[in-house]
Amino acid sequence: MSTPAKGATKKEKKKPIPVKTSLNNPYNIGWSDLLQKQHKHLILDTLKEKLSATGLRKERVSRFRDWGSRRRSRKKASKPTEEQNPASEPAESVQTPEPGWTNLALRKQLAIGINEVTKGLERNELSLVLVCNSVTPAHMTSHLIPLSKTRSVPACQVPGLSGSLSELLGLKCVLALGFRRGSEEFENTVRAITPMVPQLPVAWIQTDSTPTTKEKRTEIGQKRKLEELSSDASPLVLQPLKVKKIIPNPTKIRKPKLKKQKKVV
């Protein structure tokens, strides 16, 4: 009998725990609160009055009942009885309007939901964005902050937005609502809500008060030296990205695999 050699071989060495490295944003992105508490009620009341006046609503019909009636009508049409006239159409086969929005033209002037609002901001088609605070997890709407800031679109978080508008529109929830540019029906609504929207806190984007490069060139001229440009640089200081190491399932108990020793005769 041969005894196993002392010391662990390469295969018997303990495998290291897999670690995933990621780069995290050093800035804290979050929605700023409304300027005054009464602005919440003013925004919700303005939206309710406008939507109730337009009558925009999505009508829902049970799909199971609709599917059953179509199936019965097809059977009757394929197997007509002696009493029925095969040339005449059955009563249930009359075309009924499909369930949907009451006014499709008004629906196209709005962007409802996080996905539609995101696409509208990417295409620069929105003039105002409202987000509900009941979104879980919260990072589902955090990407709308830099998108709205770069497009110069006023955006804010309104508490109770989904609970106030979901029943009125006939939807389960309204987590985000956007108004498209050039919408004649909601133009007054956008004008009334925009002054109550606070500025978005985005650290790496300069505010609107800072002069642009075109304004600097007109004031000073095109023959400005590089030293003067460096002295008038923006006070914004960029922070380095943070490297974070993540261990998947750290509480898992990893037992070493037992290997069977082969008997040598």
Question: In this model, does residue 194 exceed pLDDT 90?
Answer: yes
- pTM of full prediction above 0.75: no
pLDDT number for residue 172 = 92
For residue 167, being part of any structural domain is answered with yes
Q: What average pLDDT score do residues 98-105 get?
A: 82
Could you tell me the sign of the dihedral formed by the alpha carbons of 195, 200, 205, 207, in that order?
positive
- φ/ψ (deg, to 5) at 79: -125, 80
Q: What is the mean predicted confidence (pLDDT) over 189-193?
A: 95
User: Does the residue 119 lie in any domain?
Assistant: yes
Tokens 């002069």 -> residue: 211
Q: How far is CA 241 from the centre of its chain?
A: 24
Q: Name the residue range of residue 183's domain.
A: 107-197
Q: With 60 as the cut, is the pLDDT of residue 218 above it?
A: no
Confirm whether 253 is domain-assigned.
no
Going by C-alpha positions, the residue among 183, 176, 194, 182 that lies closest to residue 128 is 194
User: What is d(CA 132, CA 155) in angstroms, rounded to the nearest whole number?
Assistant: 11
Residue 81 belongs to a domain = no
Q: Which token pair is 86? A: 């095969």
Residue-level pLDDT at 86: 45
Q: Which CATH number goes with the domain that contains 117? A: 3.30.1330.30
Q: What is the mean pLDDT of the chain?
A: 76
| Region 122-130 average pLDDT | 95
Look at the chain and report how many structural domains it folds into.
Answer: 1
Identify which has the larger pLDDT, 240 or 172.
172
90-129: b (≥16 Cβ within 10 Å) or e = eeeeeeeeeeebeeeebbebbbbbbebbbebbeeebbbbb
Structure tokens at 9: 């071989």
Inside any domain, residue 243: no
Cα 169 to Cα 117, 125, 173: the distances in Å are 17, 22, 9
Please work out, in degrees rounded to the nearest 5, the angle formed at the alpha carbon of residue 197 by the alpha carbons of 181 and 192: 60
pLDDT of residue 119: 96
| Per-residue pLDDT tens digits for 156-177 | 999 999 999 999 999 999 999 9
Tell me, what amino acid is at 5? A
Give the pLDDT band of residue 26 (cuts 50, 70, 90). Answer: confident
**Residue 144 within a domain:** yes
Return the axis-axis angle of helices 38-54 and 161-169, rounded to nearest 10°: 10
Paired strand residues for 131: 157, 176
SS3 content of the chain, % helix, strand, coil (to 5): 35, 10, 55
Residue 166 within any structural domain of the chain: yes
**Does residue 172 form part of some domain?**
yes
Task: Quote the pLDDT of residue 29.
Answer: 84
Query: What is the phi-psi region of residue 151: left when phi exceeds 0, alpha when psi lies from -120 to 50, beta otherwise?
Result: alpha
> Which token pair is 133?
């605070």
Contact assessment for residue 114 and residue 176, using Cβ atoms and an 8 Å cutoff: yes
Question: What does the pLDDT look like over 52-78, one tens digit per residue?
Answer: 999 999 887 555 555 556 666 666 666
Q: Which residue has the tokens 């086969």?
A: 93
Average pLDDT over residues 223-232: 45
Report the pLDDT averaged over residues 225-245. Answer: 59
